[in-house]
Amino acid sequence: MTDIADNSAARAGKLTSDSTWRRNWAKLKRNKAAMFGGILLIIYVLSALLAPVLFSGNPSAPDLMNSLEGPSFKDPLGTDELGRSILGRIIYGSRISLVIAVGVVFVGLICGIPLGLVSGYYGGKIDFIIQRATDTMLAFPGFLLALALVAVLGVGIKNTVISIGISMVPLYIRLVRGCVLAIREEVYVEAARAVGTRDAQILLRHILPNVMVPITVQTSMSMGTAILFAAGLGFLGIGVQPPTPEWGAMLGSARSYIFHAPHVATFPGIAIFLAVLSFNLLGDGLRDALDPRFKL
């Protein structure tokens, strides 16, 4: 008899744990904007992965005979001032942008989550110190902070990632701390303490999983911002350096030809715009789908 009960309960259990994912996926799928964002993102990821297949040749090799040509069959998006295919450079540029987006978020999470957890859970002096440091960093506009950090660290992909990543750390600290402040007062956290669970385990096993939803949403949003920041730094000439195909840098060097060859600036601009849009739409959709209060 126990077996029967066991089996039916097992079936019921399997159904629910699956169905939580399925329900979230269904909610996300119904959100057309989010799906649009998701599909755009997949296109970017594929073009980054398949860049050598999609574009044969070196995207950085100049071909001065064909400079500033308009869109044609050979170069669907035209060529830049050094005669390089803009399509090819955008495709290869998606590698740079995605690497930067992932790297930045990684830096933000690695620093922001532990600091936010500790700050929110322990409170007191530790919290005070971390929060005043956060306040100080938040007092600067994010981009300005990244700019200042680049000025200190120097140019290049690695330093771009570190600079933008650090400028995003305070956002993660605030987000995580806020969630922890609410969750640490939950009875189940007290119950975990009452069975003798160590602080580290309470933070990692009991609190962190409950913060994952807002972190996931924030991660998607910050990837968009990271691409925008990186493009901004590239535009100013202090981000990723030429001849590496980077969207912001492409935009920056196209500035001089904007009147007689507008396509040179337009297409990288659209690439940046759509990439940021895809992350934001997906982030919005994730927030709605993962929020338990938002039921369809």
Partner 1 sequence: MKAQTSPLLEISNLHIRFHTLDGVVQAVDGIDFEVYPGETLGLVGESGCGKSVTALSILQLLRCPPAEITGQIFFEGQDLLELDREGIRKIRGNEISMIFQEPMTSLNPVLKIGEQIAEAGRLHKNMNRQQAWRWAVEMLRMVQIPGPGSRSRQYPHKFSGGMRQRAMIAMALSCNPRLVLADEPTTALDVTIQAQIMTLMQRLKEEFKSAIVLITHDLGVIAEMASRVVVMYAGKVVEEAPVKALFKDPRHPYTRGLLGSIPVIGRKEQTGRQLQEISGMVPSPANMPLGCRFHPRCSQTMDKCRQEEPPMTRLAEHRRVSCWLETG
Contact positions vs partner 1 (CB under 8 A): 2, 5-10, 12-13, 16-17, 186-198, 201, 205-206, 209-210
Closer to partner 1 by Cβ: residue 10 or 270:
10
CB 240 to partner 1: min, Å: 39
Closer to partner 1 by Cβ: residue 16 or 56:
16
| Residue 223: CA count within 13 A, CB half-sphere | 26
CB 194 to partner 1: min, Å: 4
Cα–Cα dist 251/245, whole Å: 10
CB 4 to partner 1: min, Å: 9
CB 114 to partner 1: min, Å: 19
The SS3 assignment for 156 reads: coil
CB 26 to partner 1: min, Å: 18
Closer to partner 1 by Cβ: residue 39 or 199:
199
CB 207 to partner 1: min, Å: 9
Closer to partner 1 by Cβ: residue 19 or 256:
19
CB 176 within 8 A of CB 207: no
CB-CB neighbours of 61 under 10 Å: 12
Closer to partner 1 by Cβ: residue 174 or 206:
206
Closer to partner 1 by Cβ: residue 152 or 194:
194
